[in-house]
Amino acid sequence: MMWLRRLRFSLLCLGAFGLFLFAGSAIESIHAQTPTVVRYWLWLDDPTEPMFGDLVKEFNAANPGIRVESQLVPLSEYHDKLVTALAGGAGPDAGRFKDWWLGEFVKMNALESQNASIAKWPGRGDVIENLWNTGKITEAGPVYMMPHQSITFYLYYRKDWFAQAGLKPPATFDEFLAAAKKLTDPAKTQYGFGLRGGAGGQDQWLAFMVAGGARLVDAQGRVIINNPEAVKVNQWYIDLFREHKVAPPSAPTDAYAQVLGAFQAGNTAMFAHHVGSSVLVTQKLGAANVGVLPVPAADPAKPATMVTMAGNVVFSASKSKEAAFKFVSWLSETNAMDKWSGSRQGQLPALKSVARLPRYTENTFFKVSLDGANYAIAWPPLPGVGYVSAQAWQANMQRALLGQISSKDMLDEIAKALQR
């Protein structure tokens, strides 16, 4: 009986459809009780560190209405992945963020102003006051990035080598150069200073530029990195490699792994970095042999160094902004901040209550860093900073180090890229 079979089949289909609808509505009702999901992206210098996973568990347990789902992305890919994910409508709700990218993302309307949420946040009074500026485009404008972990650059030096050579730790550019020359001996593959011309070297470069008196922008926000004074400081920096040869011949392409490795292996007497490498350096060379200094200045009366902030942002495309802010502001509260700063990712805390704790005030590396924070200068929030730090600086610095272009040409290119 053909028709009977057809009828049976139709009924079966109808039944299945009904079941499907029922299941759908059941899922819907479960869904109504599920917590708001906050997708959070971050990078970690040491991805094997359990600290962040523990923080998320702690937050989720304390806030049953919110569930944070995090995704780790390496810093070198972070910017690209974030842009493409946001463009494709699959970006996170909130994320760790560098001040380098602020200008670019604000220009694209991708970041949410956090002013209203901050006004209601009880922890706001604990944030070190001038650090709010690292999350703004203009002084009077809204805060887009919650201050979290910052780094200021300082100088590591080999105490044992300095003592042997009868040198005192350098405070000025001249003393720095003299010490570097004295500690350079190519026959022993030993050099005075681990100059970083490769990936990521722009922070070290900027620390020396501002310590030499150059500035990226003036008070009105105009780019002045190619003015005669900056050209002179930049020439001094280039000459460390070209003229005085106090940096290893590999300096033009040396990145973090190479400058750190060379210092650890006893190939360099000094190198500039931040508190994040202090454990690695002292473990290898012994705490007695490693000293730390503020970045020397051209004029010791006007010290300066570079500060860069890794904060937290909420994206405008997010559908759960309130929950996202709840999480990122929680990260900037005393308990979570101390856990983060005290971990292997350890960077400078943005809270007064944490910076006062003995484990930071009694640690030389944190102390020199926190002192530097008083006069440190950040990358300006210009839309081109992302490109400069990702590629333009590196290509042009290397060309200048190789003598293919002049100091002025290099800075003209960087000024152009900053103003894109």
Partner 1 sequence: MRSPKRSSARAVGTSGRGRTWLLPLFLLSPALVLLLGIVAYPIGRAIWLSFHRVEILQPDLTQNIGFDHYRGLLADPVIRIALGNSVVWVVGVVIFQFLGGLIGALILNRRFPGRAAVRGLALIPWATPSVLVALMWTWMLDGNYGLINDLLVRTGILSRFQPWLAQPWSALPAVMLADVWQGIPFFAVMLLAALQAIPEDLSEAARIDGASTWRVFLHVTLPLLVPTILITTMLRMIWTANYMDLIMIMTGGGPGYSSLTVPLHAYYIAYKRLDFGYGATIAIVQVIALAAAIVLYLRQLRRNEVMVQ
Contacts of 95 (CB under 8 A, 6+ apart): 40, 41, 42, 82, 312, 313, 315
Query: What number of helices (H) and strands (E) belong to the chain?
Result: 19, 11
Is 254 one of the binding residues for partner 1 (CB under 8 A)?
Answer: yes
Select from 198, 346, 349, 380 the one that contacts partner 1 (CB under 8 A). Answer: 198
Give the C-alpha distances (Å, rounded to integers) separating 296 from 98, 156, 201, 252, 403.
Answer: 25, 11, 17, 22, 25
The site map against partner 1 for 394-413 (x = CB under 8 A) is: xxx-xx-xx-x---------
Pinpoint the alpha helices (H) of 63-138: 75-87, 102-107, 115-120
Spatial separation of the C-alpha atoms in residues 203 and 348, rounded to whole Å: 16
Which residue, 71 or 84, has its beta carbon nearer to partner 1? 84
Is 93 one of the binding residues for partner 1 (CB under 8 A)?
Answer: no
Q: Which of 140, 27, 149 lies closest to 96, judged by CA?
A: 149
Which residue, 367 or 420, has its beta carbon nearer to partner 1? 420
Is 11 one of the binding residues for partner 1 (CB under 8 A)?
Answer: no
Is 212 one of the binding residues for partner 1 (CB under 8 A)?
Answer: no
Give the C-alpha distances (Å, rounded to integers) separating 269 from 263, 310, 379.
Answer: 7, 29, 28
Select from 253, 282, 289, 363 the one that contacts partner 1 (CB under 8 A). Answer: 253
Q: Least distance (Å) from partner 1 to the CB of residue 349?
A: 31
> Applying CB under 8 A, which part among 165-173, 250-258, 275-283, 340-348 lies near partner 1?
250-258
Contacts of 225 (CB under 8 A, 6+ apart): 209, 214, 215, 216, 217, 411, 414, 415, 418
> Applying CB under 8 A, which part among 38-46, 103-111, 129-137, 355-363 lies near partner 1?
103-111
> Applying CB under 8 A, which part among 146-154, 297-305, 345-353, 387-395 lies near partner 1?
387-395
Spatial separation of the C-alpha atoms in residues 14 and 117, rounded to whole Å: 50
Which residue, 87 or 165, has its beta carbon nearer to partner 1? 87
Which residue, 199 or 370, has its beta carbon nearer to partner 1? 199
Q: Least distance (Å) from partner 1 to the CB of residue 198?
A: 7
Strand 146-152 relative to strand 348-349: parallel, antiparallel, unpaired? antiparallel
Is 145 one of the binding residues for partner 1 (CB under 8 A)?
Answer: no
Find residue 349's DSSP bridge partners: 149
Binding site for partner 1 (CB under 8 A): 79-80, 83-84, 86-87, 104-105, 108-110, 186-187, 189, 197-199, 248-254, 258, 261-262, 265, 267, 386-387, 390-392, 394-396, 398-399, 401-402, 404, 420
